[in-house]
Each structure stands twice: as structure tokens, then as C-alpha cells.
């Protein structure tokens, strides 16, 4: 699969599973799409997992928008984390955790925003997990593969999102 084909397949599957690709999308800048998301989702509080320059940009923007940064993860509107990889065939994001509280940002807040580097995209999600095998041939204690928002059909098969995990899964892809 060519790289472009891989990417478009990923987006297709990711959105079919209920995720929303925020960026890149048309001509809009990252600031524009994030601002829109904050408005549309009525986001007031957030937390962010990393301090790298790219996350700084997002952090600053949210601060400028007047959002409250909080460590009370269960009651947050938005959690922002890095996705360590993705599989195109199923539109799946890979999150790898060794320690710390970052994993809570993928599971507790109402909305989850993931940031994925384009080079971490593989065809099959298993390929995206493989690079995380460690020295002794072991894996880190917790890897979470996420395909769309949390959902259920347990009551009369009615589709409802946001049962225990996020109601909405947004994605920003950077190169």
C-alpha cells in the first residue's frame, strides 16, 4: 500500500468506527480545528500528557481559549495524549503505558484527543505494537488499542456512545 493510500484507508476506517479526524482536514490550521472542537463540544477543562513542543502548542492554545487545566481526571471534559501508533486496516490507535497517570486521560475524560505521528501508522495494528517489544522480548505492562469511542448496544440494540470510556474520540495527525 502506498503511503497516501495507507493514510486514506486509515482515515476511512477510523471514521467508520466513529472517530473524528480533526487535522489535517482541508485548508484549516490546527488552531482553527481545535478551537472549533472546544466550542462544539462545550469543553471547559482539560489535561495534557506531554511537554514536547507539539503538545505545548496545543496547551497554549487551550489556555488562551480560557480552558481550565485540571488534575481531577475523572471529571475532565478533555484528555489529550499521544498515540504511539496506529493500524490502518481497522482504524485503530495504539497507546503504550509503562507507568504514570497518562492512561487515565484516554479512559476517564468525556472526550479524548489523540495526537499521532504519521510515521507511526502501519497497515495492521499488530505492526504498530511490535516496535514496543522490549529488551527481554517482553511488552510494557499495559497497551491499549482504541478503535472509535466507547459504545454499547445493550439496551434494545440501540447504539449509544460513551458508556465507560470517552463519548468522542478526536485525532490530530502530525508529520
Residues engaged in binding other proteins (CB under 8 A):
13, 16-17, 74, 90-92, 97, 99-101, 103, 107, 124-126, 129-130, 133, 137-158, 160, 162-166
**Residue-by-residue DSSP string for 109-161:** SSEEEEEEEGGGEESSHHHHHGGG--TTS---SEEEEE-SS-EE-TTTT--EE
Beta strands 85-87 and 92-97 are: antiparallel
Between 2 and 158, whose beta carbon lies closer to other proteins? Answer: 158
Beta strands 68-69 and 92-97 are: unpaired
Between 1 and 133, whose beta carbon lies closer to other proteins? Answer: 133
Distance between CA atoms of residues 155 and 101, nearest Å = 32
Least distance from C-beta 43 to other proteins, angstroms?
Answer: 18
Contact in structure between 113 and 80 (CB atoms under 8 Å): yes
Distance between CA atoms of residues 59 and 113, nearest Å = 12
Nearest alpha-carbon partner for 47 in 113, 99, 100:
113
Least distance from C-beta 139 to other proteins, angstroms?
Answer: 5
Between 158 and 175, whose beta carbon lies closer to other proteins? Answer: 158
Least distance from C-beta 65 to other proteins, angstroms?
Answer: 26
Between 12 and 119, whose beta carbon lies closer to other proteins? Answer: 12
Between 33 and 106, whose beta carbon lies closer to other proteins? Answer: 106
Least distance from C-beta 142 to other proteins, angstroms?
Answer: 5
Least distance from C-beta 145 to other proteins, angstroms?
Answer: 4
Contact in structure between 84 and 132 (CB atoms under 8 Å): yes
Amino acid at each position: 500500500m502506498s503511503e497516501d493510500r495507507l493514510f486514506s484507508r486509515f482515515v476511512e476506517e477510523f471514521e467508520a468506527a466513529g472517530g473524528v479526524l480533526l487535522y489535517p482536514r482541508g485548508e484549516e490550521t490546527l488552531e482553527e480545528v481545535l478551537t472549533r472542537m472546544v466550542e462544539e463540544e462545550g469543553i471547559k477543562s482539560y489535561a495534557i500528557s506531554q511537554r514536547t513542543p507539539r503538545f505545548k502548542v496545543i496547551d497554549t492554545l487551550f489556555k488562551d481559549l480560557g480552558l481550565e487545566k485540571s488534575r481531577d481526571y475523572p471529571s475532565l471534559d478533555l484528555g489529550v495524549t499521544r498515540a504511539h501508533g496506529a493500524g490502518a486496516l481497522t482504524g485503530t490507535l495504539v497507546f503504550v503505558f509503562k507507568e504514570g497517570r497518562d492512561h487515565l486521560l484516554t479512559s476517564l475524560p468525556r472526550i479524548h484527543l489523540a495526537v499521532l505521528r504519521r510515521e507511526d501508522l502501519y497497515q495492521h495494528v499488530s505492526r504498530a505494537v511490535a516496535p514496543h517489544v522490549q529488551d527481554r522480548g517482553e511488552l510494557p505492562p499495559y497497551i491499549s488499542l482504541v478503535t472509535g469511542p466507547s459504545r454499547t448496544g445493550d439496551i434494545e440494540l440501540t447504539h449509544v456512545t460513551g458508556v465507560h470510556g470517552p463519548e468522542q474520540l478526536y485525532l490530530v495527525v502530525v508529520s
